[in-house]
Structure 1
Amino acid sequence: MNFSLALKGFLNQGNARTLAAKKNVIGSFMVKIISMAISFVIVPLTINFINPTQYGIWLTLTSMVGWVSLFDVGLTQGLRNKFAEALAKHDIHLARIYVSTTYFYISILFTAVWAVLVVANSFVDWSSIINVPIVMDSEIRMLTSIIITYFCLQFIFQIIKTILISDQKSAKASFIDLIGQSSSLLIIWLLTVFTEGSLIFLGLGIGVMPVLVLIIANVYLFSTSYKKFVPNFKLVQKKYRNKLMGLGLKFFMLQLAAMIQYSSSLFLIARYFTPVDVTAYNIAFKYFLILQGVFMIILSPLWSSSTDAYFSGDYDWIIRAVKKYLLILIPFVFIGLVMLFFADQFYDFWLGKGVVNIDYKISIFSFLFFLSGMFASIFVNVINGIGALKIQFYVSIVTSMGFIALALVFILVFDLGVWSIILASIISNVYGYLIAPIQLYKILVVRNINSIWFK
């Protein structure tokens, strides 16, 4: 009873913005725990359905096709800020214009992208690009077409999740993902029972259900709680597209930098090492992603809450929030060290002893990568919410190119292992853990609105 009263008191303490953040954190936490459990079940199930080499091929292809997200040109991220800004000003009509405009242009963009990529795919020599036997070329070409199709459909229909997150309902967005993920798990399990290992079946099993869930979520939400924001072709306006892209193009560049790092990492490993090494890298990545995943649940309301607080002039709320998140980060450091110490034992328990051999250095640098990323995300989320992206924009141009150069130097000149690619990523993320804290101090404390820090 005392715990129940304490929890109720915690949930009801604070202003409306803080209360919404607390409820989303708790809701997202419950959903994310289940989601992470499913993710950990899917990996060994998938590897057993195919094999470690094919799983490495799957990871490489999905990361490369993931580059289609760049054709979003920042529209959905622009919507996230502009929708929250319109709600903060109680302008429902403007919010609906932003929603309608985003759906219209994203649909056109990704339909065109799908057509071009499916045609181009038939001319690509995949066996030489990702270092696999030529006999697999036709299978990989078909798999790539499947991946391209469901990626493009996802980017159209997942706009509804951006709306939910912007409206400080990130728990609902996470729940949509959970339903799609659970459906994929069921399909993969059925495949292991009734079919032989196949990359084509895997692609269909993982891709179809999440897209179907997103379509259902769009129909349901726009028929009920978000009916007043339902997209309308008559509300599509080019000038609002430009407003979305004005902010969105900066997000696009930041998204490009992140894509270069992750996708290029898998490609470099497949190219200069082996597909099995891609699997080893991804296993360590997923293991330490647990740490960041839990932290990001707690952090998830900060972006949209910062947008609301900033445009409401409540700078002190943002400062208090940042300090609280820095304190919350401390126990994650110690938990991460424990995870690192028991990493090898966990891999054997998770996948089976000897199924995939993972260099301990990969685990060490994966831990450092996520630790530095969690620290950086506190400051970057606030800055993204405020929309002061100019410095981050220019730094990302340099660091994204610098990452590839640094990784190639480590591999080709110093003959270092897979772990060196993670080290190159850590060094390249200098904006988040070094420059962003300085920028946020300048914005919230110094408050010289004419300086570059505010732009």
Structure 2
Amino acid sequence: MLKEKIRKIKANNLLFNILSNFIFKGLGIGISFISIPIMLKYLDKNNYGLWMLILSITNWIYTFDIGIGNGLKNRLAESLSKKNEREAKEYIATSYFFVTIISVVFFLFLYIILHSINLSKLLNIDYLNNNELNKILIINIGFVCINFIFSLCNNIFLGSQKAYLSSINSVLSQVLFFVFLLGLFYLKENSMVLLSLSYGLGIFLSHIILTSYYFYKNNSLLFEIKNISFTKTKNIFGIGLKIFLVQISGLIIFSTDNFIITKYTGIENVAVYNIVNKLFGIPLLIMSLITAPIWPAVTKAFYEGNKEWLENVLKKLQKIFYLLLVLTIIIIILGKSFVKIWTLNEINPSFSLIITCGLATLLTCFSNIYSTIIFGIGVSWNLVFIALFQAIINIVVSLIAIIYFDLGIIGVVLGTCFSMLTNIFILPKSLKIMIGKI
């Protein structure tokens, strides 16, 4: 009976990917939650806040592929649905070529910039001199640029309808980093440099292992230099560039918060903000686990003209949102007590911060329902301009709330909420028009 159920789940590729995501990312959540108190003890509140800020800075690089990753994901899904492996190899090879060039240029550019400014003064960090901070950042940026290239494997997994490999990749990198972290903690080597090396190496090894496994199992897609096709550039960049601009806007909305908090309220408040956000990462993660494999499946359904399937998926995602609404309310109620226990009384957030973060979480989940399907079909320039406008509004409202109303961290989160409110009205209407045209 159990074997039969497992066989049916495997036969349903989308369901298999979603369930696999839950299992592996569930493990990832467990590792992450265990890691937080260890990290706080290893670094202290100030250095933990700095570490979160560094990750905010370096994670920006992952989005600067000018849409190549998302373009590859959509085009690969299209090519494989047409059973055109030659075209699929050309898309993969061309994407790796351009991402490698971007990565090298980006590292050289940031290396020069870091040696031209006083980052300690700019970020208002007084307990580290500029040379120490630069050294830590260069190590992190170096690893990010390397992993930037190899992380393209995740787009290949998703485009191939093998989202579970992306989940395994994420968990494996967390496991490797956790092992390295325990080693540093045991040896009492409290060093941001060693922590940076451990973090980057964990991700790098995971990418190498999963990429090798994928091409071993799918050797017909193993590409060569001769597969690089500049004629495919327009196809990759076309839809990818629009998605890239929308995602950059989202990154500005969420990642600039750490900069604003550091500059106007102090580095110690970054730790409080990020710990509370980690708590609300649970409903966001559940939503991403479900939507990640849906994106390429939407692309496939769109090219097949399967309007009924798209409408059915939308209805199911809307039902899931109501479940996440209940989960978010529970987190809001229990959040303050849980954070104190979880961080061993290191962090004690205000209830108002928890409420506003909960609201931002719900707005994000709601947006993800519609944006996932829209990204799978194709993004209009109107949505791109709206997203860019939201990013500007987020910064403006956050600064006004902090400088003129003295709302501190809460003001930054309110800026995020305010900028995303328009999604409630715009995204459902846009998606309805798109599906109606099929």
For Structure 1 versus Structure 2, the TM-score category normalised by the shorter chain is: over 0.9
**Equivalent residues in 2 for 1:287-436 (5 A)?**
287-353=279-345, 355-430=346-421, 432-436=423-427
Match of 1:68 in 2: 61
The Cα shift of 1:433 comes to 2.8
Match of 2:29 in 1: 36
Residue 104 of structure 1 pairs with residue 97 of structure 2: yes
Distance 1:357 1:268 in 2: 20
Match of 1:143 in 2: 136
Match of 1:342, SS?
helix
**Equivalent residues in 2 for 1:146-185 (5 A)?**
146-185=139-178
- Pick from 410, 418, 432: which aligns with 1:441? 432
**Matching residue's letter, 1:32:** K
Residue 266 of structure 1 pairs with residue 258 of structure 2: yes
**Matching residue's letter, 1:66:** N
Distance 1:113 1:299 in 2: 30
Match of 1:24 in 2: 17
Q: Is the 8 A contact 1:170 1:300 kept in 2?
A: yes
Deviations 1:362-405 (A, max 9, x none): 21111111112112211110000001332221111211111111
Q: Which runs of 5+ in 2 are unaligned?
A: none
Q: Is the 8 A contact 1:373 1:432 kept in 2?
A: no
Distance 1:330 1:187 in 2: 39
Q: Is the 8 A contact 1:63 1:262 kept in 2?
A: no
**Matching residue's letter, 1:24:** N
Distance 2:179 2:375 in 1: 36
The total of aligned residue pairs comes to 438
Deviations 1:256-285 (A, max 9, x none): 112212221100000000111100000000
The Cα shift of 1:49 comes to 0.5
Distance 1:431 1:151 in 2: 33
Q: Which one is further off, 302-311 or 242-251?
A: 242-251
Q: Which one is further off, 322-331 or 155-164?
A: 322-331
The Cα shift of 1:134 comes to 5.9
Distance 1:395 1:283 in 2: 30
Q: Which one is further off, 331-340 or 97-106?
A: 331-340
**Matching residue's letter, 1:443:** M
Match of 2:9 in 1: 11
Distance 1:263 1:292 in 2: 16
Distance 2:380 2:191 in 1: 44
Match of 1:80 in 2: 73
Distance 1:208 1:9 in 2: 37
Match of 1:72, SS?
coil
Q: Is the 8 A contact 1:407 1:421 kept in 2?
A: yes
Match of 2:280, SS?
helix
- Pick from 161, 170, 190: which aligns with 2:183? 190
Match of 2:64, SS?
helix
Q: Which runs of 5+ in 1 are unaligned?
A: 450-455
Match of 1:452 in 2: none
Q: Quickly say closer, same or farther: Cα 1:426–1:6, change in 2 above 3 A.
A: farther
Match of 1:127 in 2: 120
Distance 2:180 2:419 in 1: 38
Q: Is the 8 A contact 2:261 2:408 kept in 1?
A: no
The Cα shift of 1:101 comes to 0.2
Q: Which one is further off, 369-378 or 316-325?
A: 369-378
Question: What is the TM-score when the length of structure 2 is the normalising length?
Answer: 0.96
Match of 2:86 in 1: 93
Question: What is the TM-score when the length of structure 1 is the normalising length?
Answer: 0.92
- Pick from 241, 245, 254: which aligns with 2:237? 245
The Cα shift of 1:116 comes to 2.2
Q: Is the 8 A contact 1:100 1:233 kept in 2?
A: yes
Q: Which one is further off, 140-149 or 367-376?
A: 367-376
Match of 1:115, SS?
helix
**Matching residue's letter, 1:331:** L
Match of 1:56, SS?
helix
Deviations 1:59-112 (A, max 9, x none): 112212322234311111111111111112221111111000000110111012
Q: Is the 8 A contact 1:103 1:231 kept in 2?
A: no
Q: Is the 8 A contact 1:269 1:418 kept in 2?
A: yes
Deviations 1:144-191 (A, max 9, x none): 001101111111001111111111111111101111110000101110
Match of 2:360, SS?
helix
Distance 2:206 2:35 in 1: 18
Match of 2:195 in 1: 202
Runs of 4+ aligned residues of structure 1 deviating over 6 Å after TM superposition are none
Q: Quickly say closer, same or farther: Cα 1:285–1:6, change in 2 above 3 A.
A: farther
Q: Is the 8 A contact 2:68 2:95 kept in 1?
A: yes
Q: Is the 8 A contact 1:380 1:432 kept in 2?
A: no
Match of 1:49, SS?
helix
Q: Is the 8 A contact 1:103 1:159 kept in 2?
A: yes
- Pairwise CA RMSD of aligned residues? 1.8
Distance 1:329 1:405 in 2: 29
